[in-house]
Structure 1
Amino acid sequence: MLAGTMIGSGIFMSPQWVLYYMGSPGASLLIWAACGILSMLGALSYAELGTVIKESGGEYIYILRNVGILPAFLLAYTSVFVVRPASIAAISIGFSEYVVAAFFQDCPLPQVVVKCTAAACILVLSVINCLNVRLAASLMNFFTAAKLIVLLVITVGGMVLLVKGNTHVFQNAFENTAVGFGPIGVAFYQGLWSYDGWNNLNPVIEELKNPEVNLPRAVMIAVPLVTCIYLLVNVSYFTVMTPQEFLSSDAVAISWGLKVLGSWTWLISLGAALSTFGSVNGIFFTGGRVCYVAAREGHLPNILSMVHVKRLTPSPALILTSAISLSMIIPSDFSTLVNFTR
């Protein structure tokens, strides 16, 4: 759940924006490493909270039990009506851009097609999560395995070229590095977006077996694993593409595939689509529980605390999240939604 949610659209979309704001490959890699360390510190703190307060709801329930009603109320509304839906909308757009890019390789992506595909992604996953918890969890396992295989292909391909001497980008790795709080701060927003999901077990901790052992274990395995993968994938990108090619690409992984895999580039497109699709599924799975718990505590309408009699899924909460996410797709693009959620 943790690795599957963290690895989503970010590693396929954000590297371009991190480089754009930092100006150099070396500084970009430092940002990715720093974001991983920061995420690990946050995840360990959440693991401690989760083993002490064994209630679903994540940060909402922690604030409610330790700070008070008003801050928890404000966080619930922010999470349910802004952060979670915007995350779903952004990752769905990332999914749709990689799907549509496979059919429009030599021309700009038509935004109507992109947004309709993103809407279809949201609707399909909303139905799946409303129908069956086990099906949603099984899909999570499948998509996690698929995205790790694709990232392994990118990593190995880049390492092979690096060993062969394709190191020209790293010879002046810090040239043109941007200096200032503004560019570094926005670059951190883009990098941290790719690590978003490190706290995704806490909202469903009531459904986790033996949380005292499994929650810290999951954190200490998943976050370092994802950090190493992100760094290796970025090195692979820079090994194959110049910064100029990097910045001019609509889909970095596809551009990498065209230069390395040739006619097999469709594998990267498929993998990126599966990765983002699985990440949206993970946010749906946990986001519905946050809304459900907030309603159970009386901070949202009672109907949102209801679950399906037979399927035992928080259907009203999931339907509300889907509706808000669909409305956010219409006026926004990927970068705008990422900065908005941060």
Structure 2
Amino acid sequence: MISNENEFKRRTSLSSSLRRLQKRHGTTSTGGLELIEHDYSQQETDVECRPSPDGNARDNANHYLESDQAKTEDKSFVIERTFGSMHCTSILLGVLVSFGSLFSVREIFMNCGGLIPALFVWISAGAMMFVGAQCYAELATCIPKSGGDFVYLYHALPTPMPAFMQVWMGLVMGSGATISALGKMGGVQFLKLVCRRCDDIDRSSPLVIIVAALIICLLIMMHCRSSLLSAWFQVSLTCIKLGSFAFIIALGFVHIVTGRTSNLKENMWYPLPTNQASPMVAFAVSSMSFTGWQSLTFVTEEVKKPEKNIPYVTSFSVLIAIGLCMALNISYATLLTPQELLSSQPIIMLIGDKVLGSWSKLVHLPILICTLSDINIIILIVSRMFFSAGRERQSPSLWAMLNVRYNTPSPAILVMLPIALILLVLDISSVLSILGPFQWLTSAMVVATLLIYRIRYPDRDRPFKVPWAFPFIYILYCIFLTSLAIYNNPRVLGLVLAIIAPAFPLQIILIRLRRPRTFLRAVGNVTRFLQKLLLVAKPDDSGQDINL
């Protein structure tokens, strides 16, 4: 296989002619546009003529070709299932136990009025997230295709427009605004951790932008190199993160065991600090902290035994996240006074100053780890949505191709890089406020498709099935959160509509309308050039096809 790979790389170099490449790989015609397909079984094998054991010279080329084809016929050119239960658990815990556990505590305590109502809010929000996670788990086992929200909306609804809107929002907000904002935060935390003179550094500083660009580029390169490598990197980040949180929890429980509970008693219950405080706002904030439990549905085709791992790992991870958030809140209430909990300074900084003393700079490490973890997971899930969109002809066909050497969707990954780098120089923090309402509304639509699939395909095999009441409960819950967000900030609705609006004409112009043959020929030339440049080819999806 090494010689075959070297031969393929030699023949697909930029200096090789298109005729020679087509002769080797074959072509398929799609609407007048020729796209190159990769077929391992059709590769030539260079062998020499050797004498047979009986002394008679004969050509062994056919023998070696037949044996090589027999080995490659069993291995299709698709994304490999490399994610085990450990990788899946680290992905979910990495996104569930993140910034919400560090920065949303003050807002929850301020809108609740103490530890007891705050714990009730965390449990209630966690229970709703558990219901939604169960609904997504049924969809993932019923429709074992990668792509998450895009796949479920595309196959369930009569129009592809809602699914295309997911791709558009993933392109603008997921791969653009979110990754660039997290990259800047990671740059700030890294500089504060390693540099003594960077305590007051601004996020718009050129040095921060350079470090953020390096972080984003390195993570994207890692994903292009190996999906399994990125999964193991996520395992290590999650372990470090959980270790940091376990240290904070241990500090709080040591104070309780040793009788230092004065702060805990004061934080149990107190009047709401302001007239604008509302438990509903705390409920919405805690719900936003639990987002990301649907991440595994975007990588279903890469999960080993998805019919078992996705439901079990999702349930286990959500329950662990609820328990960790409650334990962290108890530790915060034990270590800090009510005035410190409600102050504007981040809680993690206050704990570092009180506990670590001169080593307080180490508190920037868990924040940096959370940043790297979130960027890593966003690249993973958004790229799989782009890959699925390309496979369903809702995005450029190049996005649906895999690297022939590493079996990674490198075009779908690399498309995020220029957008994130461009938005690094812009201040888009205000736009991120629309992510919550849009995600809740999308989740309501996706869970509604669960009812559509049950009615449309009642006989389909469902390894995991939830009660009928779960979809209705979660849909009402998402509608409530969306309405609450729009009521508290009507400007959010305008931002959502302004960002989504370009998706309608783009979908009509680029996908629905009949395009001139000259345009298709130009796109074909660009696609072939990028295929040879990136060494990518269309995968064999025969093992992933599902009749819907």
Report the structure, 1 or 2, having the larger helix content: 1
Q: Pick from 154, 176, 182: which aligns with 1:64?
A: 154
Distance in 2, matches of 1:28 and 1:118, equals 34
The 5-angstrom pairing of residues 272-311 of structure 1 reads: 272-311=367-406
In 2, Cα distance between the equivalents of 1:30 and 1:179? 20
Q: Do the aligned partners of 1:146 and 1:275 also contact (CA within 8 Å) in 2? A: no
120-129 vs 177-186, which deviates more?
177-186
Residues 45 and 185 from structure 1, CA distance in 2 versus in 1: closer, same or farther, beyond 3 angstroms? same
Range with bigger deviation, 237-246 or 281-290: 237-246
Shift of the alpha carbon at 1:22?
4.6
Per-residue deviation, 1:116: 4.4
Contact 1:304 1:317 in 2 (8 A): yes
Q: What residue number does 2:233 align with? A: 139
Equivalent residues in 2 for 1:154-233 (5 A)? 154-163=248-257, 164-171=259-266, 173-177=268-272, 183-184=278-279, 186-233=281-328
Rate the CA distance shift 1:85–1:11 in 2: closer, same or farther, 3 A. farther
Instruction: For 2:378 and 2:295, locate their aligned partners in 1 and report how far apart those are by CA, in whole Å.
Output: 8
When residues 172 and 286 of structure 1 are mapped into structure 2, their CA distance, relative to the original with a 3 A threshold, is closer
Output the CA distance in 2 between the equivalents of 1:84 and 1:26.
38
Moved more, 87-96 or 2-11: 87-96
**Are 2:425 and 1:323 aligned?**
no
Q: Aligned runs of 1:80-159 on 2, under 5 Å?
A: 80-83=171-174, 85-102=176-193, 103=195, 108-111=200-203, 112=205, 113-159=207-253
**Partner Cα separation in structure 1 for residue 213 and residue 277 of structure 2:** 33
Q: Do the aligned residues in 2 keep the contact of 1:241 with 1:256 (CA within 8 Å)?
A: yes
2 CA distance for matches of 1:77 and 1:180? 39
2:428 corresponds to 1:332 = yes
Amino acid at match of 1:29: L
Is the 1:12–1:253 contact (alpha carbons within 8 Å) kept by the matching residues of 2? yes
Deviation at 1:232, TM superposition (A): 1.1
Distance 1:41 1:192 in 2: 12
Could you say if the C-alpha distance between residues 94 and 226 of structure 1 is closer, same or farther in structure 2, counting changes exceeding 3 Å? farther
| Identity percentage of aligned residues | 28
Query: Aligned residue for 1:78?
Result: 169
1:231 CA displacement: 1.4
> Is this contact kept in 2: 1:87–1:341, CA < 8 A?
no
**Residues of 2 paired with 1:84 and 1:178: CA distance?**
38
Does the Cα contact within 8 Å between 1:80 and 1:290 map onto a contact in 2?
no
Deviation at 1:278, TM superposition (A): 1.9
Tell me which of the two structures has the higher relative contact order, counting C-alpha pairs closer than 8 angstroms and 6 or more residues apart.
1
The residue type paired with residue 428 of structure 2 is S
What residue ranges of structure 1 are gaps of 5+ in the alignment? none
Return 53-62 or 279-288, whichever deviates more.
279-288
The answer to whether the 8 A contact 1:80-1:321 is kept is yes
Deviation at 1:106, TM superposition (A): 9.6
CA contact (8 A) 2:266 2:338 kept: no
Please say which of residues 162-171 and 194-203 is displaced more in the overlay.
162-171
* d(CA) in 2 for partners of 1:104, 1:188: 38
Asked if structure 2 preserves the Cα contact closer than 8 Å seen for 1:86 and 1:341, the reply is: no
Change (3 A) 1:19 1:87: farther
Residue 175 of structure 1 aligns to a residue whose secondary structure is coil
Letter in 1 for 2:327: L
Structure 2, unmatched stretches of 5+, are: 1-90, 437-548
For the residues of structure 1 that align with 2:138 and 2:106, how far apart are their CA atoms?
A: 34
By how many angstroms is 1:25 displaced?
Answer: 4.4
**Other-structure match for 1:44:** 134
CA RMSD of aligned residues (A): 2.8
Q: 1:314: which partner in 2?
A: 409
CA-CA distance at 1:79 after TM superposition = 2.8
Q: What secondary structure does 1:177 align onto? A: coil
Matched-pair contact (CA < 8 Å) for 2:164–2:394: yes
Specify the SS of the correspondent of 1:171: helix
Q: CA deviation at 1:233?
A: 1.2
Q: 1:90 to 1:239 in 2, by over 3 A?
A: farther
Equivalence for 1:7: 97
Count how many residue pairs are aligned between Structure 1 and Structure 2: 340
Q: What TM-score results when the alignment is normalised by the length of structure 2?
A: 0.56
Alpha carbons 1:23, 1:176 under 8 Å: kept:
yes
What's the CA shift string for 1:89-127, capped at 9, x where partnerless? Answer: 444344344334434699544222555443332222112
Distance in 2, matches of 1:122 and 1:252, equals 27
The within-5 A match list for 1:227-246 is: 227-246=322-341
- Could you tell me how far apart the structure 2 residues matched to 1:224 and 1:105 are? 41
